[in-house]
Structure formats: C-alpha cells, structure tokens
C-alpha cells in the first residue's frame, strides 16, 4: 500500500444533514456496494445496528474501506446526535481529514458547531459538502455565509449550483469553468456541458474570488493576480490543497446525495485536497519513563510500531473488538505489542479490516491504516500500543462527564449476572457511559449524556445481552460548589494499644472558574513530610466525590494545604488521607456551599405560528431565551434551560406544534440552583 494514496476521512455533521446517505453513495460509486442502502428504508450499510435502522439515526461510528481512482479511502461515518458526541470525538482524534456535511436548508446547526470545534481541537483539515440542494428552501450562498460567520471558516466555494430545489440539476465547476450534469437513475453518468448563460458572469466572478482568496496564501498567485495574468487550474488546485492541509481554508462543494447528484466530484475533492498520512506532521508522544521528553513518530513502515486504541466495540461472537489507528511501523499477525498504559504485553492473533459490521482478515497492519483486532486483555480506549523496545505514550482521549442517570434492576434474579456482564461490556465500549452502585439505596445506577443515550443502552441490554431490566425515573447529575473562601483543619488521632494513628492538616479553600479541582501544596519547613502530601491529595480527591449538601461531587474548588503536623511514630498515609477528608468537609461547611445543576443549550426550530407557545413553554421550564434567528421559513429559538426541565420535552413540543417543530440540545455549563428548587431537590421532592 502506497501511503501517499491513502485517505483517512470522517463524515461529520448535525443530525439529519445527510451524513449516512452521503456515505452510502460513496460506497456505491466506489464499487464497495453493488446497490444503494437507504436510511429511511433501514437498509444503510453504515447504520447496521437494529436501533439505528429503527430510528433512522446513526448511533455508533462505523468504519469501512473503499477505493477511488487508485486511492484507498478509510471512511468513518459518525453520529450527529449530541448524545453520541463521544463517537465523533474519538474519530476526530485519529482521522487525517473530514468531510463536514451541511444541510442546504438548515445551514450551520448546533451540532455542526460542535463537530467543527472537535475538528479544530485535533487539527483535522476538512472540506464542506452542502447537501440537500434539492430541498425546498435550499440556499447555498446562505450556508457559505453562515460558515464564515458562525464557524469563523475561510470557506472557498469551488462550485455553483445549477438551479435549486426541484430544479437542481448539477453544478458549475468554478476552477475549470464547466458545467457538470448528472443523469441516469443513480447519477452515475456525470456529463460535462456548457455553463448556462444566466450563470456565466457569476461563474467567472466565482473563479476570481477563489484566486483572490488564495492570493493571501500564495506569492505566485498574488503576483499573477496583481499583474492581471491568468492563473492555471493546476496552480489553484495545488495551492488549495496546501492551505486546506494547513487548516487555513475550507473548500466548499454542494449537491444532493439522496438524488445521487455531485457525489463523484466530492470523492475527487477528497483525494485532491485532503491529506494522506505523510502530508501531516509526525505524531508526538512522550516517553513513559520521562514525561517531559517528547518523541516523534513519522508515518512510515520503517519506524518503530505505534498505534492508538481509539474505540472498543462488543461483538456477539468475538467479544471485544479494538479499533486501532496505526501511526508508524508495520506488524504481522501473531506478533506481540506493549501497552504503555497498563504496562502489559498484548498478543495480536488476528488483524481485520472493517466494512461496517463485516470483517476482512488481513495478514499485517502498517503506518496509516485503521484496523480492528479482537481479544486484547488489558487495553482500554485511549491506550497506546507500541514496540516494547521503543515505548511511547500518545495523547489519550478526554471524554465529557455524564449529565443524566437512571436506576436499573434486573426483572428476575436470574438476570442479575447477565445485567452485570452487559453493563461492564457497554461501559468498556462507551467511555461516556458510567455504572455505579448507590450505597444508600443499593440500586445500580447508570449515567450517560442524555435520555436517548440511556434509552439505547437499555434497549441494547435487552437485545444483545438478553436482560430484561426495570428502569427508574431519570435523575440529574447535580454538583456542589462553594461561594466564598474558608479555612479549616482536619485532625485524625486514634490511640489504642500499640501504634496509633495521627494526621493533622490545615486547609484554605476558595472557589475557582470551571468544573475542575485544584490542589496546592504550601507547606514550608517540613511540618508535614513530603511522603504524606500525596496521601493528603488522594484524600481530597476522594472527598470531593461527595459534598456536604446532598453528597454530590464538588466542582470549581481550589484547596491549599497551608499547615499541619505529624507524629514520628503514629503518622501514616491512611491517617493523613482521613484527616484530609475530614478537613475538606469542615472547610466546605464554612464556605457557603451551594447546589449546581447542569444547564443545556437548547435550539428549537419552529414555524412562526408557534413561536409564542414555544417561548412560553421554555420559560415555564426555567428557560432563559438567548436569541432568535430566521432560517428559511422557520424561526430558531435559542435558550439555556436546566436539564431537569427538559425531561419529556420532545413529546410536549410535538403536541404544542402539531409535530412541526424539532429541537436539539447539548450540555453547556453548571449553574447555581435557585434556593427554593435546591431545597426541594435536597428533600427528595424533585
């Protein structure tokens, strides 16, 4: 395999922008599928789970491989629903490029912004595809304008649509100044033609605008532009590729995947403008023995082997399957790798190339590839697998904390073991899904990113693991915080026959911005020996898991260890750990603790007739209206609403708007709960 002809790309967008439909057309046109799968018919290759086919949405990112004009494309189709944003996060971490799909009617929607930020975070070059140009209200120019305004993107349109809505028939290629039309039942016969007369001036202006935009990045184009000389299509493409890979610009194309129009030019753009693994900087990691030491690995089969386990999937026949992105080196099946996170060796008995939920066995994996391997014993999501003689630790993945919980219990005693097995497997697979046992109630509590997330988990427990479960009401993941600084001490002194226990600490605590916890060691003169400071920090980390109001985790607090004392014989790590916990609880009581609730950013798209009803309903849920926009013939209402007020909102919104409105929401921040609401929560009335 020639690495320069490899493209690792993802398809990412807001829910219902047409990601999976676009992926299905790509598989058809590249010859990977002999027929087109449709989302609305439940036949999409990339949506292989029963839950995906029933709901018509993507839940888990699916990987496949296809070929186009001598290039190999590893394609990952990611979910658009915010509850499954972790799938986008870990895909972006390992991709070299992305196709951001936008709805020509909806434009830049909330989840479009989220996936764009995720791509920025991992420095992923991307091209944009404005889909659904055949829909009523389609407006290509409005979407490009929204990309520039809302995403801050240097969006460079490479095409102009010929017609729109029902009249959409093809595109003008602005670089080569020609029209492309798509005929045949599946649009597989693109034909070149003359640019329609009414678009001729606009098309020339569009090419000039491409040259003008690129002149900011290329001295060659700038010189030709200023001298009024023609700029060749080859130079435009070469410069466009360079600026796209450097994240300075985003080429924009348009089409209608569902109507089989303009997918082939999109594939051409993928190989033309998105990078191969060798076009990107070498991957950086750290030495396991010296975290300050930076190690580089180039995308070459000749370098030491390095791979990142970015996803785990549970297979009913093979058990756990681990998805690996190989950054350097080459490895044959039957070889052994070293996991720098667990410190254990892992034997690679089988290597597979995935085609959605189907598998193809291969003999080796090498730099640039995305593969799957089964049966790794001590590997978790985000672990680095490498050559033991050349160890490296790659940057792991960060995942958001869950915001909603449910109590679950097996319907029968026989289901108890199956429930435990199923929950363990699903929590290994999904890092945003957490399981714990509530000590007070004895219940098993599952936590996730939203109602749909947990609904899918419960459904999978029933179907995949054969567990019939009873489900409690959803619970909000509240937090506790402090409003003022305080000082307190914690003493743990126990004297019994023989050696006793002695730990003594003095803390100063203060509120800080964000959801984090900070610890500062201000001990001078050795009043507490260094070996006990670590125990104090561990004691604090345990203590912040349970606050003083309702036992909720504590956020936004800085703790400084300022004083204390120790006993030469009786002091121990355990004594200081307990003293730290006692001192923190004491300090929190003095620091004016408050309850914090998760607040969601909500966007409702509704016909104008129902705007008053929607705003009134959001206000009744303690919502705060943040603004209103017009999009096509609909109104967009933006609001911040406490999560506790959003349970069951989908049903209420449908009934209030005769099913004509829809909404999306995602976690935004934690906010202090009003006193009267806080009182009800702590009394168990909410």
Full-model pTM: 0.72
3-state secondary structure 61-85: CEEEEEEECCEEEEEEECCCCHHHH
Is the Cβ–Cβ distance between 408 and 458 less than 8 Å? yes
Q: What is the pLDDT of residue 165?
A: 82
Chain centroid to Cα 563, Å, comes to 43
CB atoms within 10 A of CB 315: 13
* DSSP track, 557-571: EEEEEEEEE--TTTB
In degrees to the nearest 10, what's the CA dihedral of 264, 268, 269, 271? 140
* DSSP track, 17-53: SSHHHHHHHHHHHTTS-SS---TTTT--SS--SHHHH
In degrees to the nearest 10, what's the CA dihedral of 152, 154, 157, 163? 20
Residue with tokens 């060798």: 278
φ/ψ region of 638 (left if φ > 0, alpha if ψ in -120 to 50, else beta) reads beta
> What's phi and psi for 645, nearest 5 deg?
-85, -5
Q: At what angle do helices 530-543 and 573-590 cross, to 10 degrees?
A: 50
H or E segment and range at residue 394: strand 393-394
CB atoms within 10 A of CB 288: 17
Residue with tokens 């004509």: 660
How far is Cα 275 from Cα 277, in angstroms, rounded to an integer? 6
Chain centroid to Cα 599, Å, comes to 19
Give the total residue count for the chain: 686
How far is Cα 458 from Cα 456, in angstroms, rounded to an integer? 6
Q: What is the pLDDT of residue 344?
A: 92
Q: What is the pLDDT of residue 53?
A: 47
How far is Cα 59 from Cα 47, in angstroms, rounded to an integer? 8
Structure token pair of residue 493? 């002194």
How far is Cα 581 from Cα 13, in angstroms, rounded to an integer? 45
CB atoms within 10 A of CB 127: 24
According to DSSP, the residues that pair with 358 across neighbouring strands are 355
How far is Cα 643 from Cα 673, in angstroms, rounded to an integer? 11
Is the Cβ–Cβ distance between 306 and 384 less than 8 Å? yes
How far is Cα 91 from Cα 76, in angstroms, rounded to an integer? 7
Alpha carbons within 13 angstroms on the beta-carbon side of residue 549 total 25
What is residue 418's three-state secondary structure?
Answer: helix
Q: Is the dihedral of CA 45, 48, 54, 56 positive or negative?
A: negative
Query: Nearest-5° angle of CA 174, CA 180, CA 184?
Result: 160
Q: What is the pLDDT of residue 77?
A: 74
Indicate the DSSP class of residue 210. H
What is residue 621's three-state secondary structure?
Answer: coil
Structure token pair of residue 538? 């561990």
Which contacts qualify for 643-650: CB closer than 8 Å, 24 or more apart? 643/403, 643/404, 643/476, 643/597, 643/598, 643/599, 643/600, 643/667, 644/476, 644/597, 644/686, 645/621, 646/600, 646/602, 646/621, 647/451, 647/474, 649/621
> What's phi and psi for 584, nearest 5 deg?
-65, -45
How far is Cα 309 from Cα 94, in angstroms, rounded to an integer? 10
According to DSSP, the residues that pair with 283 across neighbouring strands are 297
Question: Which residue ranges in the chain fall short of pLDDT 50?
Answer: 33-49, 52-53, 55, 58
* End-to-end alpha carbon distance in the chain: 59
Structure token pair of residue 530? 């260094």
Q: What is the pLDDT of residue 54?
A: 53
H or E segment and range at residue 539: helix 530-543
């Amino acid at each position: 395999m020639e690495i320069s002809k490899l493209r690792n790309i993802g398809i990412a967008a807001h829910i219902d922008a047409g990601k999976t439909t676009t992926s299905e057309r790509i598989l058809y046109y590249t010859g990977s599928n002999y027929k087109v799968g449709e989302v609305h018919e439940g036949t999409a290759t990339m949506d292989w789970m029963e839950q995906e086919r029933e709901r018509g949405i993507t839940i888990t990112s699916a990987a496949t491989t296809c070929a186009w004009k001598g290039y190999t494309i590893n394609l990952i189709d990611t979910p658009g629903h915010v509850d499954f944003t972790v799938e986008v996060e870990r895909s972006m971490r390992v991709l070299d490029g992305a196709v951001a799909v936008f709805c020509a009617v909806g434009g830049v929607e909330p989840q479009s912004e989220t996936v764009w930020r995720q791509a920025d975070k991992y420095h992923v070059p991307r091209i944009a595809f404005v889909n659904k140009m055949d829909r009523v209200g389609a407006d290509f120019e409005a979407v490009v304008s929204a990309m520039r305004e809302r995403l801050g993107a240097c969006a460079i349109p490479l095409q102009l649509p010929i017609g729109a809505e029902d009249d959409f028939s093809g595109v003008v290629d602005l670089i080569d100044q020609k029209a492309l039309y798509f005929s045949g039942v599946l649009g597989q016969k693109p034909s070149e033609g003359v640019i329609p007369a009414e678009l001729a001036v606009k098309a020339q202006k569009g090419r000039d605008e491409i040259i003008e935009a690129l002149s900011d990045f290329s001295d060659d184009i700038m010189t030709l532009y200023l001298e009024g000389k023609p700029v060749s299509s080859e130079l435009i493409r070469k410069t466009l590729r360079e600026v796209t890979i450097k994240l300075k610009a985003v080429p924009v194309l348009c089409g209608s995947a569902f109507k089989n129009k303009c997918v082939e030019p999109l594939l051409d753009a993928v190989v033309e403008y998105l990078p191969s693994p060798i076009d990107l900087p070498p991957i950086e990691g750290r030495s396991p023995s010296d975290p300050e030491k930076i190690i580089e690995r180039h995308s070459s089969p000749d370098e030491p082997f390095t791979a990142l386990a970015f996803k785990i999937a549970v297979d009913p026949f093979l058990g756990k399957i681990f998805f690996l992105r190989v950054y350097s080196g080459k490895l044959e099946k039957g070889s052994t790798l070293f996991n720098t996170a667990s410190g254990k060796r892992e034997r690679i008995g089988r290597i597979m190339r995935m085609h959605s939920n189907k598998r193809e066995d291969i003999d080796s994996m090498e730099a640039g590839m995305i593969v799957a391997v089964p049966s790794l014993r001590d590997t978790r999501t985000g672990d680095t697998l490498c050559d033991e003689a050349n160890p490296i630790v790659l940057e792991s993945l960060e995942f958001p904390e869950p915001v909603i919980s449910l109590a679950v219990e097996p319907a029968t005693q026989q289901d108890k073991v199956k429930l435990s097995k199923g929950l363990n497997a699903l929590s290994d697979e999904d890092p945003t899904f957490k399981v714990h046992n509530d000590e007070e109630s004895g219940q098993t509590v599952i936590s996730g990113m939203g109602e749909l997330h947990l609904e899918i988990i419960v459904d999978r427990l029933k179907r995949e693991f054969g567990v019939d479960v009873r489900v409690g009401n959803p619970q909000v993941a509240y937090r506790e915080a402090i409003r003022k600084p305080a000082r307190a001490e914690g003493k743990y002194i126990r004297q019994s026959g023989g050696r006793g226990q002695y730990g003594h600490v003095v803390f100063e605590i203060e509120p800080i911005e964000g959801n984090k916890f900070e610890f500062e060691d201000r001990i001078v003169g050795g009043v507490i020996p260094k070996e006990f400071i670590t125990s104090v920090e561990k004691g604090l980390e345990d203590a912040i898991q349970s606050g003083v109001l309702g036992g909720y985790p504590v956020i936004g607090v800085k703790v400084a260890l300022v004083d204390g004392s120790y006993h030469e014989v009786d002091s121990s790590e355990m004594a200081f750990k307990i003293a730290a916990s006692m001192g923190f609880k004491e300090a929190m009581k003095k620091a004016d603790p408050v309850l914090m609730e998760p607040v969601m950013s909500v966007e409702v798209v509704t016909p104008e007739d129902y705007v008053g009803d929607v705003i009134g309903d959001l206000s009744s849920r303690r919502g705060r209206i943040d603004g209103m926009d017009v999009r096509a013939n609909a109104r967009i209402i933006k609001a911040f609403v406490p999560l506790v007020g959003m349970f069951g909102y989908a049903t209420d919104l449908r009934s209030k708007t005769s099913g004509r409105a829809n909404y999306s929401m995602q976690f935004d921040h934690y906010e202090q709960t009003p006193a009267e609401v806080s009182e009800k929560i702590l009394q168990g009335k909410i």
